[in-house]
Amino acid sequence: MANAKIWLDRMTENNDNLHNFDEKLEHMEGKYAYENGELDKAFEI
């Protein structure tokens, strides 16, 4: 039962942090568009 609690805690932590990856990905997409001169697209993201 202790292993199940550890597993559940890890799954909860991963779920709580998924949005951090999304924000970083959006930032990198915007940075890429900006560096390629696509300013409208960069600021839209």
User: Per residue in 25-43, pLDDT tens?
Assistant: 899 999 999 999 999 988 8
Cα separation, 34 vs 3, whole angstroms: 47
Cα separation, 27 vs 31, whole angstroms: 6
User: Per residue in 14-27, pLDDT tens?
Assistant: 888 888 888 888 99
pLDDT of residue 23: 84
Residue 45 has pLDDT above 70, yes or no: no
Q: What is the pTM of this model?
A: 0.55
